[in-house]
Amino acid sequence: MKARVHVTLKYGVLDPQGKAIAGALGSLGFSGVEDVRQGKYLELELAETDADKAREQVKAMCEKLLANTVIENYAIELV
Amino acid sequence: MKAAVVVFPGSNRERDIALALQRASYTRPVYVWHGETELPAGTDLVVLPGGFSHGDYLRCGAMAALSPIMDAVKAHAARGGYVLGVCNGFQILAEARLVPGVLMRNASLRFVCRDVHLKVEATDTAFTGGFKPGQVVRVPVAHAEGNYFTDDETLNRIEGEGQVAFRYCDADGAVTEAASPNGSARNIAGVFNAGRNVLGMMPHPENMTEDVVGGTDGAILFDSLAKALA
Amino acid sequence: MTKITPEIVAEHGLAPDEYARVLEIMGREPSITELGIFSVMWSEHCSYKSSRLHLKKLPTTGPQVICGPGENAGVVDIGDGLAAVFKMESHNHPSYIEPYQGAATGVGGILRDVFTMGARPIAILDPLRFGSPEHPKMRHLVSGVVAGIGGYGNCMGIPNVGGECTFHAAFDGNILVNAMTVGIAQQDKIFYSAAAGVGNPVVYVGSKTGRDGIHGATMASAEFDEKSEEKRPTVQVGDPFVEKLLLEACLELMAGDAIVAIQDMGAAGLTSSSVEMASKGGVGIELIMDDVPQRETGMTAYEMMLSESQERMLMVLKPGREDQARAIFEKWGLAFAVIGKVTDTGHLVLKHKGEVVGDIPVGPLTDQSPLYDRPWERTPKRAVIDAATVKGSDDLGATLETLLGTPDLCSKRWIVEQYDHLVGGDTIVRPGGDAAVVRVRDTATKGLAMTTDCTPRYCLADPVEGGKQAVVETYRNITAVGGLPLAITDCMNFGNPQRPNIMGQFVGAIEGMAEACLALDYPVVSGNVSLYNETMGTGVQPTPAIGGVGLLEDYTRSASIRFKAAAETILLVGETAGWLGASIYLREIAGSEDGAPPPVDLAAEKRNGDFVRGLIRHGEVVTCHDVADGGLLVAVAEMALAGGIGATLSTPETEVPPHAFWFGEDQGRYLMAVPPDRVEAILDQAKAADVPVTVIGTTGGAAISVDGRHKVSMSALREAHEGWLPRYMAS
């Protein structure tokens, strides 16, 4: 089964890249973009077929390596 | 002083810092591969050098912080042993939660390599004993992710407890936003852990230890360590 | 099997007569894989078919040369049993398509060329030519190229110490991204590419092979299915982390004696590396394609042979050393596979899934590669411009301020600071001056001086003088830091060689370069040719970029451009005739790009250079700068800005009009600043050496003033000099 993981900066943490992207969009004429937060997207190909077990595994991976939980949130989606 | 320099895949300033330690202590540090699980017996100081461990992929320092050797480094620090992390080494220390805070992308979003001025904030530690209080020194930085960040509460706490080692300042010692190469919170360039036996810093004192390369201000840090750990 | 139609042949870039020669060599119709191999080996890039005839005119030997052109990089003796290993290459077209990855993989490729020879890289330099700043794509290209060069080199931990960056509309559709690497090797540990020893294993190390960089021409082949868009990224992606591991692993293996031959897989990857090794060694090579480490599934032999995946090497090992080598590469987490063996057949034989998919005689493949004597026209001489007819300057200070704020003369700090130029702790003279100086480890006091130079507008005006000037400018820049120039590498960036006027530029530049190299005992030891650089059907300005390397016996006796103290006397070495043709002043102030470029007097260059170098080597001069783009006053300003000390100048008695004296670009000149009590002795020595030296002023103050009438403050100059590039990039 496949896990999709989104890692994003927590609100309140400065995101210089997001800010730069928002600025660039503005200068390209895309008005109305009030804020941009950038993050990471990972696709994991898992051998596990049980969804609950897979979720537990991926959660552990996020806590340990994939996200820095001091500044980042993560969301897991199984497909 | 018995120093061990940890080499991660992608480290690239291990030799620079080993030479700086050798000049200060007349003892050649030992290189330790990251895959080892033990430090050499009698190690006084562990150094995590600059570079791009694991290519800086995922997050700078994140994978290196989980290297086999890091358990031994943590145990060494917990025993009160000394640990110095410079640049990528600082990022690894932060990921390993051995020092407070995280290093984010520079505010300019660009890699920056140039000399900066630092104000020495604490001189009563093994790392900084040779500096004069409030001394302004010149050393280079070379990083893309040195923007120190943590919440206000933590900032207040580490400032209150003397855990800020260095701040970016201008040549006259003024701590201004313009003097910071990376947008760090409160211009912080280096921090200690609570016990002040672990120091993480972004600038490279090891690249400023000889007049022929532009100055010797960086040598003060290594001389301090050599004296404290003699 | 794919039927080889004339369309397929054309798509592979082979001319009909070239294909006829393929048929003759093979004695049959080639397979698609074989055709692909001929196509890349006979491409301009690999065969130098348009340029070879003329490249032969360059001097390539000398007592200092250990290995000249033909290997991965040139090798020069620097004493103490050590050698400098260096080369420059282009990555122009990929960088225009994808600036970050194009530039990054350019750096990766040139680093591999150097460490393949057994050298540890100690420096990177990168001359860049961009289009007009107003071009809508240009800011993106500058930003991407600089980030890509930095991204790769910084991660590798190799200091980037020099290069150039200029702008001209002639490069709007085709920027130039050149990269040079200098490394140090032990003379008895230099590795070459000639395969030897029948039966010896052929080993593949590094990254796995994917479908990277398989070019447009090859996409048409019938074997490919409808998903070709996704399957075939033509942009190669670099992985500096893997390259760093590859560097360390290769140097670890090279410390022993397991390697017979080694070749990096650069352009045309497995094809050119295996053919080069077999051809140089006069042997055959058999490869089992099934054993090539692959990153993607279902790859054909054709794809594997033509892939340009990065960070890969091919080696021939001594028999029985596979396990020792494997252990090293596995420790560094890199792919390692025995994929074939050396044979005595003289053929490159490829086997895949039990079948022979390619069998080419290596001798004819390389010896009979096309060689063209392309028609060429000599570039018409331009008229010499009389300085008196060029618009003058009422205020030299204001003109200086204007010039320092132009794209070509402004500070490149915005770029330099994105490159780690200090890693290694051996950077003695940092970028921003003339040559950089990097200390040579494991020697008492040796340093290497290095620089890259070329003035494309001179080369366009007169390729012969321009070619000469590019060589002598590197000579001067190395001399100005106290180095003895040893040898050069060249990166020849030109337009379409099938146009006689472009071919004439190439021939002319080679002629001028050869003349300068001979006169200065300064041979060419490596190089690269990049043709078909065009903007809207017109060639770029001809750009024979030269990378020079020189030796300092004692790096504590080097000079830098920075004024070190006030009240020192400023001396000008060399003659000033006030040459304004093809100058920056003419272009920026008078609005014309006409005129013959300044002539180069090679005898004077040598005399003046030897004189200046002697003074620096004897510790008599520590402040020196060569006078180049923008002329004398610009050079003074650069010294003043670097040191934060102004200057008071006076025009010597001369027939030359002031604007031509201060902004003319006469060659063979240097500026020095010395304590006043040394002046007399230096003037005496100069007289004895038949070198013209003139006192032109004194250091000090917070302004630059000329003849008491023209004055501009240092702060205004700094603002102009530092302001342009960051402002441009932020806009």
Rounded to the nearest angstrom, the minimum Cα separation between A25 and chain B is 16
Q: Does B229 lie at the interface with A, CB-CB under 8 angstroms?
A: no
Separation of alpha carbons C55 and C48, rounded Å: 9
Q: Which residues of C touch B13 (CB under 8 A)?
A: 157, 423
User: Least CA distance to B111: which residue of chain C?
Assistant: C418
Is the CB of residue C77 less than 8 Å from the CB of residue C32? Answer: no
Separation of alpha carbons C61 and C86, rounded Å: 15
Q: Which of C12, C45, C54, C347 is catalytic?
A: C45
* pLDDT of C217 strictly over 50: no
What pLDDT, on a 0 to 100 scale, did the predictor assign at position C227? 43
pLDDT in tens, C80-92: 999 999 999 999 9
Q: Interior CA angle at C412 toward B138 and B186, to 5°?
A: 40
- Band of the pLDDT at C215, cuts 50, 70, 90? low
Token pair, residue A36, equals 């941009």
- How many residues are recorded in chain B? 230
Which chains does C contact via 3+ CB–CB distances below 8 A?
Answer: B
Rounded to the nearest angstrom, the minimum Cα separation between A74 and chain B is 14
Separation of alpha carbons C541 and C470, rounded Å: 13
Rounded to the nearest angstrom, the minimum Cα separation between A15 and chain B is 8
Q: Is residue C642 part of a domain?
A: yes
Q: Which domain holds residue C248?
A: 6-53+192-367
Token pair, residue B77, equals 């620090």
Separation of alpha carbons B142 and B52, rounded Å: 11
Q: Give me the residues of B, 65-84, that contact A with CB < 8 A.
A: 66
Q: Which of C12, C54, C91, C347 is catalytic?
A: C91
Count: domains in chain B: 1
CB contact under 8 A, A65 and B58: yes
* pLDDT of C538 strictly over 90: no
What pLDDT, on a 0 to 100 scale, did the predictor assign at position C1? 67
CB contact under 8 A, C155 and B10: yes
- How many residues are recorded in chain C? 731
* pLDDT of C224 strictly over 50: no
pLDDT in tens, C696-712: 999 999 999 999 999 99
Q: Give me the residues of B, 45-104, that contact C with CB < 8 A.
A: 50-52, 54-57
Instruction: Show me where the domains of chain A are located.
Output: 2-78
Q: Which residues of B touch A12 (CB under 8 A)?
A: 151
- State the SS3 of C300-319: CHHHHHHCCCCCEEEEEECC
Q: Which domain holds residue B136?
A: 3-228
C129: left (phi over 0), alpha (psi -120 to 50) or beta: beta
Q: Which of B54, B209, B214 sits opposite C241 (nearest CB)?
A: B54
Q: Does B112 lie at the interface with A, CB-CB under 8 angstroms?
A: no
- Within C494-564, residue ranges assigned H as helices are 500-519
Question: What predicted TM-score, i.e. pTM, was given to this entire model?
Answer: 0.94
CB contact under 8 A, B109 and A64: no
Q: What percent of chain B has pLDDT over 90?
A: 99
Is the CB of residue C113 less than 8 Å from the CB of residue C207? Answer: no
Q: Mean pLDDT, to the nearest integer, of C466-478? A: 98
pLDDT in tens, C8-23: 999 888 999 999 999 9
Q: Which amino acid is at C634?
A: V
Count: domains in chain C: 2
Separation of alpha carbons B26 and C237, rounded Å: 44
CB contact under 8 A, B109 and A16: yes
pLDDT in tens, C559-595: 999 999 999 999 999 999 999 999 999 999 999 999 9
Burial label, C189 (beta-carbon count in 10 A; 0-12, 13-18, 19+): middle
- What CATH number is associated with residue C39? 3.90.650.10
What pLDDT, on a 0 to 100 scale, did the predictor assign at position C225? 40
- Band of the pLDDT at C267, cuts 50, 70, 90? confident
Q: Mean pLDDT, to the nearest integer, of C255-277? A: 92
CATH 3.40.50.300 for the A2-78 domain, yes or no: no
Rounded to the nearest angstrom, the minimum Cα separation between B72 and chain A is 18
- What CATH number is associated with residue B91? 3.40.50.880
Q: Which residues of A touch B58 (CB under 8 A)?
A: 40, 65-66
Token pair, residue C379, equals 């570039």
Q: Does C555 lie at the interface with B, CB-CB under 8 angstroms?
A: yes
Token pair, residue C79, equals 């004493």
Strand pairing category for C347-352 and C284-288: parallel
- Which of these three, C367, C386, C407, is where a domain ends? C367
Q: Does C300 lie at the interface with B, CB-CB under 8 angstroms?
A: no
Q: Which residues of B touch C124 (CB under 8 A)?
A: none
Q: Is residue C35 part of a domain?
A: yes
How far is CA C575 from its chain centroid?
30
Q: Which of A17, A65, A71 sits opposite B149 (nearest CB)?
A: A71
Whose structure tokens read 């005006």? Answer: C461
Enclosing H/E stretch for C205: strand C201-206
Which chains does A contact via 3+ CB–CB distances below 8 A?
Answer: B
CB contact under 8 A, B111 and C419: yes
* pLDDT of C233 strictly over 70: no
Q: Which residues of B touch C428 (CB under 8 A)?
A: 212-213
Q: Which residues of C touch B112 (CB under 8 A)?
A: 417-418
* pLDDT of C468 strictly over 90: yes
What three-state secondary structure class fits C250?
Answer: helix
Separation of alpha carbons C462 and C579, rounded Å: 15
Largest Cα–Cα separation, chain A: 47
Q: Give me the residues of C, 159-218, that contact B with CB < 8 A.
A: none
- Which of these three, C367, C393, C419, is where a domain ends? C367
Separation of alpha carbons C281 and C268, rounded Å: 19
- Which of these three, C341, C367, C393, is where a domain ends? C367
* pLDDT of C352 strictly over 70: yes
